[in-house]
Structures are given as C-alpha cells and as structure tokens.
Structure 1
Amino acid sequence: MKKLYSTRINPEMRVICAIFLLLLSGLIYFYQRVFLPDYFFIDEKTITDLIRYTDLDISLQDSFTSTAMVYAVIGPEWSQILLLLATGAVIVYVCKRSYRLIDLLFAFLLMLSFALFNLKLSKEVIVIVLNLVACSVCAMQLSNRKKMMIIVSLYLLYAWKFRVYYAVIAVLMLALHVVAGSRGKLRVCLIVGMLLLCCAIPGDFWDQLQQARDVANANREGLSDSKTMFTNFLAPSGVLTVLPNALFAAMRFYFAPLFSVRAQEIILSSTLWLLTLVMFKRGNRSHPLFLLVAANFVIQTFFEPDLGSFFRHLSAYAFCVFGIRYLAPDDENPSPEPIAPGQAAFTRRFE
C-alpha cells in the first residue's frame, strides 16, 4: 500500500493514460447500445420522449423536464457534443492530476464506470459540467472561503432550476466548511449546535428525505433493474431514524459484495474504498472539493434507492477528488510545474 502512495507517475505516462481512456470512451460511446442492458438508457429515453412529445413550457416542472429543456434549447447535435466534451474534459483532468500510482489506479477504475454511465443524455451530464466548474474555481488563486461561497452558490442555483435536494448538499458543504475552519472548544460547540438544529427541524422533512428510497423501490420488485435495490433499515420516523438508515446505506455501498457477490458490487465497493483512500491520503480535509465530495456522499446515504443509481451519481462528483492538493513535505508534494526559488515568496502570498 505504501508503494501505491509513494510511486510517482511521470507526465508522459499521464498523457498515454489519457489517450487510452479517451479511445476507450469513444468505443463505449459508439457500441454501448450493443452490450449495455436497456435500463442504462431509461433516463435518456425519458428525456428524449419529453423533448419529442411534450410541451415543456406547460408540463409539470421536475428535474427531468428542466434537463430536457436544456437539451431542447441546445439541440440534439450539440447535446451529444456536450456530453462528449464533458467526458473528455473529466478524463484529461483526472489523468493530468494523477501524480501517484494510487491516483492512476483510481482514475482507471472511476473512468470506466464514468464512461459507462454518462455517455448518454442524462441529468448527470449537467452535474458533471457543474462540478467541472467547481474544480476550475478551486484552481484559482482564491481563499478557501471565497471558493466555498462560489461553489455553494452554484449548487443552490442548480437546486433552484433542477433538483431541490442539491440545496441540502450546499447547506451541508457550508456546515462542514464552518466546522473545518474552527478549532478546539469552538468546534465542539458548533457541532453540538448543528446537531440541536437538526433535531429542531420538523420530522416531516426527515421523513420525506428518507422515504424517497422506499417510494422509488415500491413498484420495482422483479424488474430487470431491481437486483441492486434496498430499502431503509428502519421505517422513517423523524430525525431519530436518519442516522441508522444512513449508516445502513453506507454499509451497503462500502460492503456491497457481502450482500451479493457480482462484478457490479465488487467494482462499486472497490471504487468507493479507493475514493476514500485517495481523499484522506491527501490530508487536505478543509479543501472545498474534499467537502464537496463528502457532502454529496452523505446526502446520497439518505435516499439512494439502489446501488446502480448511487454509482451513477457517485461518478458525477468523485472525479473532484483529483482537484484536492496533496498536503505533504515539499520533496514528496507533486506539482505540475516546479517553482523557481525566486518565485517562492511571491507564491506563498497567494496560498
């Protein structure tokens, strides 16, 4: 394990890996309908049908309708170009920032699932663009506070126009940022205060958040895409059942092969464990992208109805981990461009 973390990847190898993954994604894009089951294309069919057969201006406004409106505005050709550009941008991004062997291993595993899930019209394509913008913001010479404010604003805007639960992710990111920036007794007080605030929120809010899982699975028993679904550990009953149900979902995600030993479960758990290892090995737990990944995962444990939808949503934000700078001694800290001695003082002023 130490060798995975310490072995450095040279720039030429990163370029080769990016080219290979781009070619592999191209093959998946052109032949995915041959080898992928039909349920991989359910979202695409829903969006396409909305564009073709529905008056989007007067139809019920939900996440599918809002997404369909975006694709309808830019047209079918540009929609395909958008998802191809988004996929290519993510591949180049993760390969460019795969400084160590463990990064490269995770990049290959993540990009395989990423290409399988996202090379088709879906709600996730817009989320990928959103998170790419978040990564670009974090590459700017701004303070963590300013970066976090911009990212939270972007998530709130997306929540307003597309999926309302992204507002909960934004609030959680902000809460984690406040806690990460505190120390000692202040941190303890903040955590206690936030827990008390959660208890004060009406139980209906927590019930709706948890019941989404059971409602989604109510009529799916026996369907082709129901093999990886699961229900809540406890019947939703206010804030008291949130933690047990969320922990049960996290256990299903991390230890999926214990419940069903198939290739899907093994790949999912391996990807999630590698993501966790890559995140924490960076040692940069107050970084905005660390908080983004953590908040997305936590909220997923509240309501994801099955392993497949969890994995699909995970692929749309997990690549952000590559934007988290390693906190390590200077002789071990990877940097795409070496800093000249005369530039050191200038650089420190903006870090």
Structure 2
Amino acid sequence: MKTLYRTRINPELRVVSAIFLLLLSGLIYFYQRVFLPDYFFIDEKTITDLIRYTDLDISLQDSFTSTALVYAVIGPEWSQILLLLATAAVIVYVCKKSYRLLDLLFAFLLMLSFALFNLKLSKEVIVIMLNLTACAVCAMQLSDRKKITIVTVLYLLYAWKFRVYYAVIAALMLALYAIASSRGKWRLCLVIGMLLLCCAIPGDFWDQLQQARDVANANREGLSDSKTMFTNLLAPNGVLTVVPNALFAAVRFYFAPLFSLRVQEIFLSSTLWFLTVVLFKRRNYGHPLFLLLAANFIIQTFFEPDLGSFFRHLSAYAFCVFGIRYMVPDHEEMQQASMTARPDGLDQET
C-alpha cells in the first residue's frame, strides 16, 4: 500500500487513462441495454413516462417529477448530451487529479461503476452536476468557511427543488465543519450540545428517516431487483434506534460479501474500502469535500433500502475525493524529498 501511495503518476499517463475511460464509457453507453438487467433502467423509464404522459406543471411534485421537468425543458437530445458531458467531466476531473498510483487505480474502479449507473437519464445526473460544482467551488482561493457555506447553499437549493433530505446532508456538513474547526473543550462542548439537540428533535423525524428503508422494501420481495435489499436491524423507535440501524447498514455496505457472496457485493465493498483508504490517506479531515463525503455517507446509512441504491448514489459523489488535496506526507517521504530536492516541490498536486 505504501508503494501505491508514494508512486507518482506523470501527466502523460493521466491523459492516456482519461482517453481510455472515455472510450470505455462510450462503449457502455451504446451497448448497456445489451448486458445490463432491466432494473438498471427503472428510473429512466419512470422519468420518460412522466415526460410523455404527465402534465408536469400540475402533477404532484416529487424528486422524479422535478427531474423530469428539467429534462423536458432542455429536450431529449440535450438531455442525452448533458449526461454524456457530466460523465466526461467526471472522468477528466478524476484523471487530472490522480497524482499517485493509488488515486489512478481507484479512478478506474470508480469510473466503471460510475459509467454503469449514470449513462442513462436519472436523478443522479443532476446530483453529479451539483457535486462537480461543489468541487469547482472548493478549488477556488477561498477560505474553508466560505467554501462550506457555498456548498451548503447549493445543497439546500437542490433539497428545495428535488430531494428534501439533502437539507439534512447540508445540516450535517455544517455540524461536521463546526466540530472539525474547533479545538479542545470547545469541540467537546459542541459534540455534547449536538447530541443533546438530536435527542430533543421529535421522534417522528427519526422514525420517518429510518422507515424509508422498510417502506421501500415492503413490496419488493421476490422482484428481480430485490436480491440486494435489507431492512433495519431494529424497528424504528425514535433517536435510540438510529445509531444501531445506521451501524448495521454500514456493516452491510462494507462487508456485503459476508451476507451474499456474489460479484456485485464484492465489487461494491471493494470500491467502498478503496474510497475509504484514498480518503484517509489524504489526512485532510477538515477539507469541505471530506465533510461532504462524510455527510453523504452517514445519511445514506439511515435510509438506503438496498446495496444497489447505495452504490448508485455513492458513485454520484465519491469522485469528490479527488478534489481533496494531500496534506503533509509521512516522515519517510519527507526525508526522501529533502534529499532529492526536486525543483517542482514535494506537493506539486497541491
């Protein structure tokens, strides 16, 4: 692992990798209906049917309707162009930011699942654009406070128009930022205060957040897309069951092959473990994109109904890890750098 972490990638290899991934995504885009099962296209069919057979201006507004309205406004051709541009932008972004061999290997692993899930009309295309914008904001010469403020506003705007639970992600990002930017007794007081605030929130809020998993799975038993679903460990009962159920979901995500040993579970857990290693190797725990990744994952453990849904949503924000710059490397690498005295500096990626 140390070799993977220390091995630097030259710009030429990044370009070649980007071209290869773009070509691979093109093949997946044109032939995905041949080898992917039908349930991969359920969201696309739902959105397409809404556009064709529903008056979107007067229909009940939910995440699918709001997304369908966007695609209806820009038209079918531009909708396809949008999802292709979003995929291409992410591929170029992750390859450009893959400074080490560890990054590049994860880029290949992540982009495969990214292309499989997102090269079709879905709600995730807009989320990808949202998170690409967040990455662009975090690359600006702004203070972390301004960056997290702008990203939070972006998430709140998305929550207002599309999925209300993104407001919870935004609130959690702010809470994590407050903890990460504080020190000593202030940090301890903040943590205690936030725990007390969570206990003061009405139990109905926590029940609705947890019950989303069980409600989504209530009528799916035996369906073709139900093999990766799971229910809560404990029946939702206020704040007391939140942590056990969330931890159980995290275990299902990280150790999926222990519950069902198939290629899908191995691929999912491998990607999640790889993401965790790449994330913590950066040692930049207060970076706004670190907080964005952490908040998204934590909220997913509350309500995701199955592994496939988790993996699809994960692919729409996991690429943000490439926008987190590396902090001071380990002692051995610092010594090696001081001996070689490279003119381009040790942290050229920063």
TM-score, L = length of structure 2: 0.95
What residue in structure 1 maps to residue 58 of structure 2?
Answer: 58
Q: 1:329 to 1:222 in 2, by over 3 A?
A: closer
> How many positions carry a matched residue from both structures?
340
SS in structure 2 opposite 1:238? coil
Deviation of the 1:120 alpha carbon: 0.2
Deviation of the 1:4 alpha carbon: 1.1
What residue in structure 1 maps to residue 249 of structure 2?
Answer: 249
Equivalent runs, 1:3-152 vs 2, <5 Å: 3-152=3-152
Distance in 1, Cα, partners of 2:280 & 2:191: 21
Note the alpha carbon deviations across 1:81-125, whole angstroms, 9 max, x for none.
000000000000000001111111110000000000000000000
Quick one: which amino acid aligns to residue 204 of structure 1? D
Q: 1:279 to 1:340 in 2, by over 3 A?
A: closer
Q: Percent identity?
A: 84
Deviation of the 1:198 alpha carbon: 0.1
Deviation of the 1:210 alpha carbon: 0.1
Taking only aligned residues, the RMSD between alpha carbons, in angstroms, comes to: 1.8
Q: Is residue 2:185 matched to residue 1:185?
A: yes
What residue in structure 2 maps to residue 346 of structure 1?
Answer: none
Distance in 2, Cα, partners of 1:329 & 1:226: 44
Quick one: which amino acid aligns to residue 57 of structure 1? D
Quick one: which amino acid aligns to residue 158 of structure 1? Y
Distance in 2, Cα, partners of 1:60 & 1:228: 30
Distance in 2, Cα, partners of 1:328 & 1:49: 52
SS in structure 1 opposite 2:228? coil
Runs (4 or more) in structure 1 with deviation over 6 Å come to 330-334, 338-341
Distance in 1, Cα, partners of 2:184 & 2:43: 47
Equivalent runs, 1:164-313 vs 2, <5 Å: 164-313=164-313
Distance in 1, Cα, partners of 2:343 & 2:133: 26
SS in structure 1 opposite 2:225? coil
Quick one: which amino acid aligns to residue 258 of structure 2? L
Quick one: which amino acid aligns to residue 38 of structure 2? D
Q: 1:28 to 1:200 in 2, by over 3 A?
A: same
SS in structure 2 opposite 1:170? helix
TM-score, L = length of structure 1: 0.95
